[in-house]
Amino acid sequence: MKNGIIAGALALAVSSLSFAQTGTFTAGGPLGTVNEAGQATPMSSNVKVYGSFRFAESCTFDPAKNLILAMNAGVAQDMQENDGYVSLLNPDGSVHTAKWIGNDRNGLVLNQPLGSAIGNGKLYVADIDHVRTFDLATGQPGDAWQVEGANGLNGIAVASDGTVYASNTRDPQRVYKVTAAGQSSVFLDGSPLMAPNGVAMDNDGNIVVVNIGNNHVMTFNPAGELINTEYAAEGGNDGVVVLADGTKIVSSVRFGSISRIAPGAEAEVIAVGIPSAASICYDSVQNQIVIPMNNNNAMGFLPLD
C-alpha cells in the first residue's frame, strides 16, 4: 500500500510539473496571503520585509514605478537549471514582490541572470549565452537572443535605439553587440579588456566598460574605438553607472570600495568594506546607489551627497 501511495504522489508531482511548464506565464504580485475566509490579503503597511535574494548580482531602477529590480542568479546550474528570478524592492530596501519574474516557470526560461538594464519599455537581462527581454509593465517574457560564442554574459547596457552591449567576463574576454533585431556580433575582443564586467552607456551614446583585472574605466565610441580611460580607486571592478552630469560610479567586487569619478577628476572613494559589491544601479528618485552583494544575498544602499 505504501508503494502505491508513493507511486500516486509521484504521478501527481509529474503531472503538476508538466502543467507548470505548459501553463500561462503570470508575474508575481506584492507580498500577501490568502486568509482563512479565502480572501486575498495584502501585507499590512506597518510590516516591512527585507531579503528575498539568492545570489543577487545586479539591479536596475524603474523610476516610473519607483522600484528597484534585483536580479537573482538562483542556485548553481549543475544543481538546477532555470532557477533565476527577479525581485522588486521598495526604495528603502524592503520587499515589494519577492519573485516578480520567477513566481512560476510557466513559459519562463531564466537560468542565471547577471547583468540587467532598462530601455524602450523593456528589462534586458544577460543570461549565460542569451540576452532576454521582459515587458517592464507586466514581466511577460519577450525576446530571447542567443549570442554566438558567449559562455558567461555578465554586464549589460542598452542604447536608445535598442542596441545591447554585453560583456563576456571569462575567455573569450569580449564585449558583444546585439542589435534591436537580435543579431549578435563581437564589438570588442581582447586587450584592453581584462576580465570585462560592468557595462554602461554614457550621456553621449558611448559605451563604458570596467574590468575585474585592473582599475581601468574605459569609454569606447559606437565604432569600438577607445576614446578615454579613467581609473577607479581600486581594481576588481564589477559595476558602473553614469550619472546625468557625467560622473561615473564604480564598484569593486573584489575589494569592496565604491569610487566616484567626476568628469576630469581623479577617483574619490565614497564607501569601503562592502563584501562582494557587484553590479550597482542608480536610484534617480532617491539619489542613491544600490549595491547587490552576490552570495551575501543582500543589498546595500548608499545615499549620494
Domain boundaries, the chain: 48-238
Query: Distance between CA 10 and CA 192 in Å, rounded?
Result: 54
- CATH (residue range 48-238): 2.120.10.30
Distances (CA, A) of 303 to 37, 64, 66, 69, 282: 43, 20, 16, 18, 10
Terminal Cα-to-Cα distance of the chain (whole angstroms): 69
What pTM was computed for the model? 0.90
pLDDT by residue (tens digit) across 148-189? 999 999 999 999 999 999 999 999 999 999 999 999 999 999
Question: Which of 34-48, 137-151, 194-208 is predicted least confidently?
Answer: 34-48
Q: What is the amino acid identity at position 144?
A: A
Q: Say which residues have a Cβ less than 8 Å from residue 300's Cβ, sequence separation at least 6.
A: 274, 277, 290, 291, 293
How many Å separate Cα 127 from the centre of its chain?
Answer: 9
Edge to edge, the sheet with strand 164-168 lists: 153-158, 164-168, 174-178, 184-189
pLDDT of residue 13 exceeding 50: no
Pick from 211, 218, 210: nearest CA to 195: 211
